[in-house]
Amino acid sequence: MSKDIKKNLVGQLVFKTSNENSSKRAIHLLVRQCGSDRCYKTFFSWDQLIVMLFGIFSRCDSMGEVCDGMRALAGKLNYLGMDCAPSKSTAGDALRDRDNEIFKQYYFALIKYFDHFCRSAEKKR
C-alpha cells in the first residue's frame, strides 16, 4: 500500500493560472481602465480577486469563513501573492462597495485566454 502524495484540489489549475504574471498584468491593465483601486489604500482589486477565488475553491459560505481560512494559512499566503489575510470588515466593505465591472471584464479575458486550450483539447478527442 503506497501513500498518495499527489493532491488534486478543486480549481487548482484555474487558481494557479490566474496567479501567473500574465494574468496579473491583465488585471492591472483593467484596474487602470476601470479605476477600481482609486479609493482603496491597502485592499486592491487583485487581493479581492484572490480572496473571492479562495472562497469559491475552498467552498466557504461567508466572508468570515473565507478570512478565517486565509488567516489559518498564515505564512503560506505568499503562494497566493498576498502578504497577509484581510480582515473581515475590509473584505466585506470591498465586496459591497467596489464595482464588479473589473471582475466581469477579467472573467471574459480569462475565457478568451482559455478558449484556445479548450478548442485544442476538443480536436484531440
Q: What's the first-to-final CA gap in the chain, in angstroms?
A: 34
pLDDT in tens, 11-59: 556 666 666 666 777 888 888 888 888 888 888 888 888 888 888 888 8
The alpha carbon of 55 is separated from its chain's Cα centroid by a whole number of angstroms, namely: 9
Q: What is the pLDDT of residue 65?
A: 92
Is the confidence at residue 104, as pLDDT, over 70?
Answer: yes
Phi-psi region of 85 (alpha: psi -120 to 50; beta: other; left: phi over 0): beta
Kindly state the average pLDDT of the residues 54-83: 84
Q: Name the average pLDDT for the chain.
A: 79
pLDDT in tens, 9-21: 455 566 666 666 6
Q: What is the pLDDT of residue 79?
A: 73
Euclidean distance between CA atoms 83 and 94, whole angstroms: 18
